[in-house]
Chain A
Amino acid sequence: MDPRGRPLSPHLQVYKPQLTSVLSILHRITGVVMAFGTFVFVWWLVAVALGGEAYSILQDIFSTWFGRLLLFGWSFALFYHLCNGIRHLFWDIGKGFDLTTAYRSGWIVITSATVLTFVVWICAYTSIGKLL
C-alpha cells in the first residue's frame, strides 16, 4: 500500500494469466523459496562440522517422505530458477524480446527444468538403491 493512499499500478487481477507472466512470477517465487531453502545447505555443512550424531539426524529427517518431498521441490525450484535465469541473462543483452521467442524460450525453460529435476533424482536413486 502506498503510504499516501494512492492506487498502485499494475492491477494484476484484471489480467488473464499468460505463460510469460506466470513464468515471471514463478522466477521470484522459486528465488524466495530457495532463499529459505539455503538453511538446508547451512544445516548440511554445520552437521558435517559437528560430527556423527548431528549428521545422522539430518540424514534421518531427509530420508522421510516429507524430507524427500522438500528436497524434490527445492531441486525443481533450483533448476527452474537456473534455466529461467539464463533466459533473463539473454534478455539483459537485448536478445529474445519478441513474442514468439519469449514464448518458445518459456517452454524450453519449463521442459529443461522438469527434465533436469527428474534426471538428477533418477541419478540419485539409481546409484543409491538402499535409499529407495
Chain B
Amino acid sequence: MNLRGYSQKLRALVFTKGGVAHWWAQRFTAVLLLPLLIWLVVNILYLFSADIQVVSEWIGSPVNAILLTLFTLVLFHHAQLGLQVVIEDYIHTFWLRSFAIVSVKLSLAILCILCLGSIIKIVLLG
C-alpha cells in the first residue's frame, strides 16, 4: 500500500468508522447522566458545607461509592464524545485534529482514573 492509500485508510478508520455507535453512545450516556446528576446535585447541597469526615463517610458508603463510580465513568465518556464532535467540526487539518482528539482522550482518561483511584482509597481507608 502506498502512503496516500494508507493515509486514506487511516482517515476512514479514525473518523468515519463507528459514527452511528458514537451517536448512540452520546445519547445513552446523556440519558444515564440525567438521574445521576440530579442525585449528585441534591447530595452536594447537603455536603456543601459539611466537614471532611461527613463527606468521606458519604463517599465511602457502598451505594454512594457505586453510584459515584458509575457517574464518573459515564461523565468522562460523555465529555469525551462531546469534545470529539466539537473538535471534528472545527479542526479540519488532519494531523491537528487527530492530535487534539487523542490529547482529549488521554487527559480525560487520566482525570477519570484519578477520580476512581480516589473513590477506591476513600472506600478502603476512609
Within 8 A of A (CB), among B19-62: 27, 30-31, 33-34, 37, 41, 45-46, 48-49, 52, 55-56, 59
Residues on A with beta carbons closer than 8 Å to the beta carbon of B121: 49
Task: Please encode chain A, from 9 to 31, with 1 for each CB lying within 8 Å of some chain B CB and 0 for all others.
Answer: 00000000000000000001001
Residues on B with beta carbons closer than 8 Å to the beta carbon of A69: none
Interface centre among A41, A124, A127, A131 (most CB of B within 10 A): A41
Judging by beta carbons under 8 Å apart, are B86 and A32 in contact? yes
Judging by beta carbons under 8 Å apart, are A89 and B27 in contact? yes
| Pick from A8, A51, A78, A124: contact of B45, CB under 8 Å | A124
Give the nearest-CB partner of A121 in chain B. B45
Residues on A with beta carbons closer than 8 Å to the beta carbon of B56: 48
Q: Please, could you name 24 A-B residue pairs with CB atoms under 8 Å apart, sorted by A?
A: A3-B93, A31-B82, A32-B83, A35-B108, A38-B75, A38-B76, A38-B79, A38-B108, A42-B118, A45-B59, A45-B114, A45-B122, A46-B114, A48-B59, A48-B118, A49-B118, A52-B52, A78-B37, A82-B33, A85-B30, A120-B41, A127-B45, A130-B49, A131-B49
Give the nearest-CB partner of B95 in chain A. A3
- Check if B115 is an interface residue, CB within 8 A of chain A: yes
Give 8 nearest A-B pairs by CB, closest first. A128-B49, A49-B118, A45-B118, A49-B121, A55-B52, A35-B79, A31-B82, A42-B111
Query: How distant is the Cα of A122 from the Cα of B8 in the complex, in angstroms?
Result: 55
- Check if A1 is an interface residue, CB within 8 A of chain B: yes
The count of A-to-B residue pairs whose CB atoms sit within 8 angstroms is 84
Q: Tell me the dominant secondary structure on chain B's binding face.
A: helix
Residues on B with beta carbons closer than 8 Å to the beta carbon of A102: none
Judging by beta carbons under 8 Å apart, are B93 and A1 in contact? yes
Q: Tell me the dominant secondary structure on chain A's binding face.
A: helix
- Check if B92 is an interface residue, CB within 8 A of chain A: yes
Judging by beta carbons under 8 Å apart, are A41 and B115 in contact? yes
| Pick from A2, A45, A123: contact of B92, CB under 8 Å | A2
- Check if B94 is an interface residue, CB within 8 A of chain A: yes
Query: How distant is the Cα of A32 from the Cα of B59 in the complex, in angstroms?
Result: 27
Judging by beta carbons under 8 Å apart, are A89 and B31 in contact? yes
Residues on B with beta carbons closer than 8 Å to the beta carbon of A120: 41, 45
- Known: A34-B79, A45-B115. Is A1-B92 also a contact (CB below 8 A)? yes
Query: How distant is the Cα of A124 from the Cα of B55 in the complex, in angstroms?
Result: 16
